[in-house]
Amino acid sequence: MKIYQVDAFTDQPFSGNPAAVCPLPSARSAEWMQAVAAEMNLSETAFFWPSHNGFELRWFTPAVEVALCGHATLATAHVAWETRRASVGQSLRFLTRSGPLTATRSGRNITLDLPSQPAEETEAPQALTDALAADIRWVGRTRENFLVLLPREEQVVSLEPDIRALASLEAQGVIVTAAAHTEGFDFVSRYFAPAVGIDEDPVTGSAHCTLAPFWRARLGKDEMVGLQASARGGRVLVRDKGRRVEVGGRAVTVLEGELLAG
């Protein structure tokens, strides 16, 4: 079986967010997929195989299966087109735990249609405020994540949270964001998810399903550009459509291998 490593949300190798992508002829057990994901030891490993009306798609961190992963979906779409499992002009339909997702391509740009995940304002748990030790201006909660607003971009970039304390929260992860001062961007963010084996995710497509409605309400813009300010960094295009969010970017294959343990 072939397996690929793809850098997503970037057009340069060794930046953006790496994901492993494993095309399968048919479904495999969750235990086997989890073992492969642990072996790859990337934030996400995606597995996809043909279905009667598209592709089945599942995502695994080194520790658990997740319900939605944007960068690994973008990487999977890239692999499907690059390996001719789908024609370049063909829209892709993925059947996932988060419902049907679609991907389209224009030149090198890939656009995903994902479910919106708006955050509702909530009181910050003491463990969260202690872990961030920052000037928190607003806290929201989705089903899976906390969303935290800080006053300035520089505070997001320089943040050094207590990862162990974040892992104790009853949440998959924490999105930290602020308005952007860097030219060409509307907002910046970082994403920490130690509870599922990811101390900090380099670029997180699914987090932008929360960031898009949050910043649309504050900036009054449907289309925005986000900078995920991790060490690798990534540029994410978003378009808020109400119940859905379009998340766009590019991808680069950096490794192609053969999986021998099957």
Active site amino acids: 44
Report how far residue 240's alpha carbon sits from residue 213's, in angstroms, rounded to the nearest whole number: 6
Q: Say if CB 95 and CB 51 are below 8 A apart.
A: yes
Q: Give CA–CA dist 252/109, Å, rounded.
A: 11
Tokens at residue 252, please? Answer: 């680069």
Helix (H) or strand (E) holding 252: strand 251-258
Q: Is 230 left (phi over 0), alpha (psi -120 to 50) or beta?
A: beta
Structure tokens, 230 = 């991790």
